[in-house]
Amino acid sequence: MDLRLHCRVSTDNSQPALVQRPLTHLLPTNWEFHPTKITSLHFDRRSITTYGFTFPDSVANSDPTSDSPPSGEINIPSATATNTRLAFRAGDRPTKIRPPRNIIKLEDRLYYLLQPPLETIFTNRSLEFPCTPFAYQLEGVGFLYPRHAAILADEMGLGKTMQAITTVRLLATAGEVRQVLVICPKPLVTNWQREFAQWAPEIPVTIIEGNRKRREWLWNMTDTLVKLANYEIVMRDKLLLKEMESSFDLVVLDEAQRIKNQSSATSRAIRSIKRHRSWALTGTPIENSSEDLCSIFDFLSPGTVRRDWKPQRLRQATEDYLLRRTKRKVLKELPPILYRDAQLSLTSEQMKTYQMAEDEGVVRLAELGGEITVQHVFELILRLKQICNFDPATDRSSKFERLFVDLEELVASGEKAIVFSQWVKSLNNLKGRLSSYCPLEYHGKIATQKRDDVIQKFRDDPRHQVLLISYGAGSVGLNLQFASYVFLFDRWWNPAVEDQAINRAHRIGAKGPVTVTRFLTQGTVEERIDEVLRQKRKIFDSIFSDNDTPKNAGLSQQEIFGLFDLRVPIGSTKSAA
């Protein structure tokens, strides 16, 4: 209430100041009442929100010193005399397991974030190694461990096999996998068996082989953790696999580019295997086009990518599933590759034969007119390339003359060399002419069971300093890091296959630089193909680095026909190679 006082004051000094009683008015006024603010000094524990969870398969009540592991885990035997406790490299940061982006639920993400570093897991579970893994290899293990779909696309020679095996070992000891299937090319089955024995000796491995009855029994065995099969066996037994009641906890595809053709029977058979986790190992996830990668994803995680996506979008969609490292980035201590391109002129005999064959061949192609196909052109190319190797009439060869000179020098210094060719006939020719060096052969015509002996002899016997290998048989999976010279007697269509060949020698364990000599005859179709190969080398980087978007990686029909200045017949649209 507002109190106002009114009064009249006399100006006559003889009178009292107040001549009238003051007049007061009480006028109603609205006051705004502000509630008194009370600040609490205390924190009320009841008002504090908490979040928590208990880990599944908790071992809180298990005794880690007992002989019986918690249920579901594999018992690791105590240290053997051969393996030793791992001493991790000083200065390396501990390797943490990070959840992939497609794990959305907080509890699932925390499950991985709260796991100890890999180094701690290895130490605490007494998992021992024949030698200390590199930091990037542990990162690869940390990458694979939480993923149900993954591609490990490290460059050849960085130890993809070892990383996969070590991760299988971890998952097995954690009880997360009990049935694992590894599928690989036939020549690599013994290699995988050897690597398992080296990196995970406690894990039982069964090779699926033998007649149908035996294979059926092996497929249905349940007391073996890892089954190892080649692609052909899986194809043959696809119905058996389909009828199996249980599914695999993990299927690992080695050299996964084998399923790059989505519609092939092999791809369909592989995709139909029942499984929970799918991993692909390949140094060349893209051999010809980005469709190869899409086909691999049809196995790993159907629906994740689409074939009509541009490379940039494809890259964004796949980057969390894919890990690729190159030797240059992670193995700074690996000796360099020294490229030495030998540009040679054909001998006079070769030149005469070559010229005649090319002229006749081009005329014949022109005569075919509209009926000409890429196959016709391929046949001519192959014939000309063979002439660049050896003259069919006189056997003269400028490449051989150069090879002989180079071998003379390096053999004298005690070095070993590998010679690659796409033709067994060329390798046989070389074998006869290089007999003084006791060369060994490794190609499709050598029986599978004898191939391991060949490698062992080449490695251990100082008399054998030259190994003659075909691209088909020898460009994947072999460890030949004791050879310091690689000769590419003739070139392959695909730079990725050439790189694989070179990486037989340039890999972990290589003692010194690897010198690669690529033979190329001037003024021939080889020179023109070389230019196309240079273009194809850029394709990889456009998807796996920050370079521009790639062009189509395949050799177009225009390029094939263009090797002989021919025009593409009207109506041809498909990519040639």
Partner 1 sequence: MSASNRKSKNAIGFLTILESSEHGISGGYLLLNSTGRPIEFHCTAPVHPSRTQEILYGATLKPYLFGEILGQTLLSQTQTEPLFVCTNVVEVATARPFVSYPIVVLLSENNVKSAPSLRIDEPTPGQPVPAPLGMVSVQLMNQPAAVLADHPSDRQLMNDRCKDLHESFDFHEPFERIRDAVEEAQNE
Task: For the chain, report the end-to-end CA distance as a whole number of angstroms.
Answer: 98
Among 7, 18, 102, 116, the residue binding partner 1 under the rule CB under 8 A is 116
Among 113, 197, 366, 368, the residue binding partner 1 under the rule CB under 8 A is 113
Rounded Cα gap, residues 362 and 281, in angstroms: 42
Q: Which is nearer to partner 1, 44 or 546 (CB)?
A: 44
Establish if 171 lies at the interface with partner 1 (CB under 8 A). no
Task: Name the pairing type of β-strands 417-421 and 337-344.
Answer: unpaired
Among 18, 19, 23, 106, the residue binding partner 1 under the rule CB under 8 A is 106
Establish if 102 lies at the interface with partner 1 (CB under 8 A). no
Q: Which is nearer to partner 1, 116 or 392 (CB)?
A: 116
Among 74, 95, 118, 121, the residue binding partner 1 under the rule CB under 8 A is 121
Rounded Cα gap, residues 407 and 415, in angstroms: 9
Among 4, 45, 213, 332, the residue binding partner 1 under the rule CB under 8 A is 45
Find out whether 119 and 95 touch, Cβ atoms under 8 Å.
yes
Q: Which is nearer to partner 1, 18 or 59 (CB)?
A: 59
What is the SS3 assignment for 5?
strand
Establish if 115 lies at the interface with partner 1 (CB under 8 A). yes
Establish if 109 lies at the interface with partner 1 (CB under 8 A). yes
- Which residues lie closer than 8 Å to 195 by C-beta, 6 or more apart? 161, 162, 165
Among 7, 10, 23, 55, the residue binding partner 1 under the rule CB under 8 A is 55
Binding letters toward partner 1, positions 125-154, x by CB under 8 A:
x-----------------------------
Mapping DSSP onto H, E and C, the string for 438-464 reads CCEEECCCCCHHHHHHHHHHHHHCCCC
Q: Which is nearer to partner 1, 50 or 449 (CB)?
A: 50
Find out whether 510 and 335 touch, Cβ atoms under 8 Å.
yes
Establish if 59 lies at the interface with partner 1 (CB under 8 A). yes
What is the SS3 assignment for 235?
helix
Q: Which residue, among 491, 470, 140, 476, has the nearest Cα to 284 in the 3D structure?
A: 476
Rounded Cα gap, residues 412 and 15, in angstroms: 142
Establish if 75 lies at the interface with partner 1 (CB under 8 A). no
- Which part of the chain contacts partner 1 (CB under 8 A), choosing from 108-116, 219-227, 380-388, 513-521? 108-116
Establish if 114 lies at the interface with partner 1 (CB under 8 A). yes
Residues paired with 460 in a beta bridge: none
Closest distance of CB 176 from partner 1, Å: 13
Rounded Cα gap, residues 168 and 163, in angstroms: 9
Q: Which two tokens stand for residue 121?
A: 């897991």
- Which part of the chain contacts partner 1 (CB under 8 A), choosing from 60-68, 274-282, 285-293, 294-302? 60-68
Establish if 355 lies at the interface with partner 1 (CB under 8 A). no
Establish if 52 lies at the interface with partner 1 (CB under 8 A). yes
- Only one residue has tokens 């030495």, namely 340
Establish if 19 lies at the interface with partner 1 (CB under 8 A). no
Q: Which residue, among 276, 262, 266, has the nearest Cα to 229 in the 3D structure?
A: 266
Rounded Cα gap, residues 229 and 531, in angstroms: 39
Closest distance of CB 94 from partner 1, Å: 7
CA 499 to chain CA centroid, nearest Å: 14
Find out whether 193 and 161 touch, Cβ atoms under 8 Å.
no
Q: Which is nearer to partner 1, 29 or 66 (CB)?
A: 66
- Which part of the chain contacts partner 1 (CB under 8 A), choosing from 40-48, 147-155, 230-238, 440-448? 40-48
- Only one residue has tokens 């002419």, namely 433
Amino acid at 309: W
Q: Which is nearer to partner 1, 114 or 382 (CB)?
A: 114
- Which part of the chain contacts partner 1 (CB under 8 A), choosing from 56-64, 207-215, 275-283, 480-488? 56-64
Among 69, 76, 103, 117, the residue binding partner 1 under the rule CB under 8 A is 117
Establish if 79 lies at the interface with partner 1 (CB under 8 A). no
Rg (CA), the chain: 36
Amino acid at 509: G
User: Which positions lie near partner 1, rule CB under 8 A?
Assistant: 39, 41, 43, 45, 48-55, 58-65, 94, 96, 106, 109-110, 113-117, 120-121, 123-125
